Amino acid sequence: GAAVATAVADLGKRHILEQEGLNTWGIWNYSDWDAFAAVVPKLFDYGKQRCTAYPRFVVQRDLFDDFLGTYLPAVRRVRVGHPLAVERRDDPYPELDFGPVINAAKAKELRDQVAEAVDRGAVPLYRARPADARFLPGQDTAAYVQPVTLLNPPRSSPLHHAEPFGPVDTIVLVDTEAELLAAMNASNGALVATLSTDDRATFDRLAPQIRAFKIGHGKPRSRGDRDELFGGFGASWRGAFVGGELLVRAVTQGPAGERLPGNFPEYQLMP
């Protein structure tokens, strides 16, 4: 990122950089498991190949049995395959949650990372069966990755601190609020995060300490929701809004003294 920033700065070009981050979902003193069960399959939209996907769950150890009892049945409902792989001619399309990842090389990278993490001590909690996928006869399936869930990825693994950009979930268990915050801030900055807790006061106290730009209380956040502009931490994220007029104003000249709306109210556009 620094090399890219230096190169474009030397050219005098206006630019926006987006920092990679590990989006996390924290579970602390929580009991609304029906609501959580409903959202788990939706978190696999696009095969988690999006910058606002949630690949990491940070779970209070005392709630791990309840979490597993909810998460595993929900993730088992996730289906992968080709949308034309129908069983009957009158079936317009099968119930699928996502298709292939970006290419076969990415699929191999994900499989290698999972295998390496397990070899170094991660516990495989769930690996979808290939037989559950829906494919066309003779179809090339090299770019398909089934959902995988690992407990406690080792710190030496990229899965511990970086987003996998694929359908690989990791779970970390914690015992204290300090551990919860440390685990949710593993990448020191993310686009989105969620904290599921029954107590609103607890959420209001902990949320400001989570280093993510958009933070949900028991619900996922995304680029598209409009509760606030889309930005982030640090000057490298300046101008990273949802788009439209605000994005144009962030990277073009504006009236003298006009304040940039969003995450950096102290920044002023130069004439």
Of residues 108, 167, 98, 96, the one with CA closest to residue 142: 108
Asked whether 86 and 69 are in contact (CB, 8 A), the reply is: no
In degrees and rounded to multiples of 5, residue 70 shows phi and psi of -95, -45
Of residues 99, 66, 59, the one with CA closest to residue 83: 99
CA distance 103 to 233: 31
pLDDT band at 160 (very low <50, low <70, confident <90, very high): very high
CA distance 124 to 118: 7
Q: Decide if pLDDT at 271 tops 50.
A: no
CA distance 102 to 34: 32
What's the confidence (pLDDT) of residue 130?
85
Pairwise pLDDT comparison (130 vs 202), residue with the higher score? 202
pLDDT digits (tens, 9 = 90+) for 68-108: 999 999 999 999 999 888 766 666 666 889 999 999 999 99
CATH 1.10.600.10 for domain 17-224? no
Q: Where are the chain's structural domains?
A: 17-224, 228-271
> Are β-strands 168-174 and 148-151 bridged in parallel, bridged antiparallel, or unpaired?
parallel
Within 13 A of 157's CA, how many CA atoms are on the CB side?
24
